[in-house]
Amino acid sequence: MKPFEQIIYSNTPAIGKVVDFDPTKDKLLPLDFTSNNKELTDEILDDTDLFSNFINQKLKDSGACYGIGGYDEHRTIYSRSTHFDTEEEPRRLHLGVDIWGPSGTPVYNFYDARVHSFANNYHFGDYGATIILAYEIDGLTFNALYGHLSAASLKGLEPGQFISKGAKFAEFGIQKENGGWPPHLHFQIIQNMYGLKGDYQGVCKFSEREKYLNNCPDPNVILKATFENEHSTRF
């Protein structure tokens, strides 16, 4: 087990929620955005309203409150934006976990943190409103990037500002302010920011997979850790 995983699992009772979720009654729907998903046509991907309707219908049909997934997933959906194109190789490998749900969905801080940085990364396909929080747990320091937020989530923030565990500090943004995506949260762990502020790529070239996954461990470790507490009603 890697150091990040060890620290999180050893502190499971102290890890709070990221979004409201009760595992005794709420349901998650795994969503696949690789080439294996033949339902996602170019027509759907080229129209954000159609894409949103596609996801909403999937959630409704399954009775799920959120769609979930994406870490280390080689996705075809990034072909919808030139933001992910490079001359030598397009970026397609997703480095975070996406939680798909209604705009306005509250986002909570899972552990005491300070604001590392924030920005409105508004380009089609980008994060839109983005907040990065800095954490220290048992001597391990890391950052969490929260992307595709509402523009209002950035109001009143200051670098170094303390955000307590359990505090609601953001919301899922609408497509006009979240980079042109169906409403969802991009949740990504970043160990070394390499001097970047308010942004860090959430999608890398497949040829750079090992380098980026080493710096961006699986966020599911945090999300799943909450279930290991028998009294947990968090996600």
Look up the CATH number of the domain holding residue 109: 2.70.70.10
Domain that holds residue 176: 3-228
* pLDDT at res. 86: 58
Would 233 be classed as within a structural domain? no
Asked if the structure places residue 216 within a domain, the reply is yes
d(Cα 191, Cα 179) in Å, to the nearest integer?
24
Separation between Cα atoms, residue 234 and residue 101, nearest integer Å: 16
- pLDDT tens over the chain, length 235 residues: 678 999 999 999 999 999 999 888 899 999 988 878 888 888 887 788 898 899 999 999 999 999 998 899 888 666 555 555 555 777 779 999 999 999 999 999 999 999 999 999 988 778 999 999 999 999 999 999 999 999 999 999 999 999 999 999 999 999 989 888 889 999 999 999 999 999 999 999 888 999 999 999 999 999 986 554 434 444 5
Tokens standing for 61? 């049909």
Per-residue model confidence (pLDDT) at position 162: 98
- Whether residue 234 is contained in a domain is answered as no
- pLDDT at residue 230, as a whole number: 39
Does 235 fall in a domain?
no
Residue 156 domain-assigned?
yes
Residue 151 lies in a domain: yes
Residue 56 counted as domain residue: yes
Q: How many domains does the chain have?
A: 1
Residues 6+ apart with CB under 8 A from 204: 91, 93, 95, 211, 212
Q: pTM for the complete prediction? A: 0.91
Runs of H (alpha helix) within the chain:
3-10, 42-45, 48-62, 209-215, 220-225
First to last CA, the chain: 22
